[in-house]
Amino acid sequence: MKIYHHLLLILLMVGILPSSQAQDGRLGKPDQIWNLPPELVEISGLTFAPGETHLLCLQDERGIVYGLDPRSGQISQTWAVTGKGDYEGLEMVDSTLYLLRSDGILFRTQWRNGPDTLVEKMDAGLPRGTDVEGLGYNAQTGSLLLCIKDFQNESSSPTLIKGWVHWNPAKDKPEPEVCGISREALRQGILEETDRKVKGRLIDWLDQKEGRFPLGPSGLAMHPTTHEIWMLSARGKLLLVFDANGVYQRLYSLNPSIFPQPEGIAFNQRGDLFIASEGKKGIPARVAVYRNRK
């Protein structure tokens, strides 16, 4: 046991493990939980405004961007960017804001203390029937990361993986290769869970979907210092971590009583982690905050 604690301390000191996550492998003890008002019951997507003046989010039925105070979670400002639709992702790239619709249509506008009135519509050109949910950005490659929730005819491919595709907006279409996790790696990650109750719940969830890949990516973000890619799955209430090259590393089980439907994830430049969940069955929509204590 002493060897384990010494090793863990070394990992924390050199920055391999973010300290707040290492304290609780299933992220069961947020530093803060912000309960949100009813208008954000279907919160979707998280990203920071330039200068981290606001934590931005969406309500997934309207093209309205909400600015939350990054210290308290209170709504400080709202901006109407586009019309009604099923909006599932939000990402700030330098001073450009992207909104993602579930059918792979993106809306792009410049940010000047708020979104510009000129909004450009872009089609990612994904195969018809693809359901996209979640948007991130890889600053190292200059690519947007589009989370793939569902593929058309997904059950026909026994080796199908789920995760995200890279898209450099200067190109017509995203890269054809899908990054993510295999069925075998997902099952193995669940079997490595040490909490028997959590493991049992996840195995039951996996087995109920036998013959179909049950993972449902719902958001992702790149860690500002490790460059790991952290991906949420609303199905299974999971958080999966990949290295900067998209190679699967580990997974965490999220507490369903805190995250009934996790839908958004973001890091600030300090490495603090923010996870949003829709409201469900009497639980309000909320954002959980995990402060990086390094």
Structure tokens at 112: 């000047």
Percent of the chain with pLDDT over 90: 67
Q: Is residue 261 part of a domain?
A: yes
Q: What is the model's pLDDT at position 154?
A: 52
Domain total in the chain:
1
* Through-space distance between the first and last CA atoms of the chain, rounded to whole angstroms: 23
Nearest to 64 by CA among 51, 77, 48: 77
Q: What is the per-residue pLDDT across 249-278, written as a single tens digit (0 to 9) for each?
A: 999 999 999 999 999 999 999 999 999 999
What is the C-alpha separation between 223 and 272, in angstroms, rounded? Answer: 9
Q: Is residue 238 part of a domain?
A: yes
What is the C-alpha separation between 261 and 42, in angstroms, rounded? Answer: 9
Q: Is residue 14 part of a domain?
A: no
H or E segment and range at residue 14: helix 2-14
Q: Is residue 148 part of a domain?
A: yes
In this predicted model, which residue has the larger pLDDT, 86 or 10? 86
Q: What is the model's pLDDT at position 153?
A: 54
Residue 18 has pLDDT above 80, yes or no: no
Tracing tokens 């600030």 back to the chain, one arrives at 268
Tracing tokens 């200068």 back to the chain, one arrives at 51
Phi, psi of 110 (to 5 degrees): -80, 150
Beta bridge partners of 20: none
Q: Is residue 278 part of a domain?
A: yes
Q: What is the per-residue pLDDT across 207-248, written as a single tens digit (0 to 9) for each?
A: 877 667 789 999 999 999 999 999 999 999 999 999 999 999
Q: What is the model's pLDDT at position 284?
A: 94
Beta bridge partners of 267: 273
Q: What is the model's pLDDT at position 159?
A: 52
Least confident interval from 12-21, 201-210, 265-274 = 12-21
Residue 155 has pLDDT above 90, yes or no: no
The amino acid at residue 26 is R
Residue 24 has pLDDT above 60, yes or no: no
Domain that holds residue 56: 31-290
Mean pLDDT of 177-195: 90
What is the C-alpha separation between 67 and 54, in angstroms, rounded? Answer: 5
Q: Is residue 227 part of a domain?
A: yes
- The answer to whether 233 touches 252, Cβ cutoff 8 Å, is no
Q: What is the model's pLDDT at position 214?
A: 87
CATH number at residue 41: 2.120.10.30
Cβ atoms within 10 Å of 75's Cβ, excluding its own: 16
Mean pLDDT of 186-215: 87
Q: Is residue 255 part of a domain?
A: yes
Q: pTM score, two decimals?
A: 0.88
Nearest to 236 by CA among 24, 26, 20: 26
Arithmetic mean of pLDDT over the chain: 86
Phi, psi of 13 (to 5 degrees): -65, -40
Angle at the Cα of 271 (from 270 to 272), degrees rounded to 5? 95
Percent of the chain with pLDDT over 70: 87
